[in-house]
Amino acid sequence: MNERDHCTSGVCPETSETGETVSIYVAYNHPFLQLKRALPWTALVEVMTRRWAAAGKNTDGRSGLPWDVAL
């Protein structure tokens, strides 16, 4: 099996926006899924967006590098 570079679509020059959607099995008790269930994500995103915007970070699509508040 050929292994490709690990790079996000649209970020690295050799990638494109077209591709395939895949799904994988992840156990219910996987640590990331536990974290997803345990934390109040909506509240965290709201607080992070407000603070980063107040600090002059790009959270709303302006030019410059964005500060992605999603995990």
Euclidean distance between CA atoms 52 and 67, whole angstroms: 8
Model-level pTM greater than 0.75?
A: no
Count of domains forming the chain = 1
Give the model's pLDDT for residue 57.
Answer: 74
Look at residue 19 and tell me if it is in a domain. no
Domain of residue 70 covers 29-71
Give the model's pLDDT for residue 27.
Answer: 96
Tell me the CA distances in angstroms from 32 to 14, 37, 49, 54, 68, one per residue in order: 29, 9, 22, 29, 18
Look at residue 6 and tell me if it is in a domain. no
In order along its 71 residues, the chain shows pLDDT tens digits of: 444 555 565 556 665 667 777 889 999 999 999 998 999 988 988 888 888 778 777 766 666 666 666 65
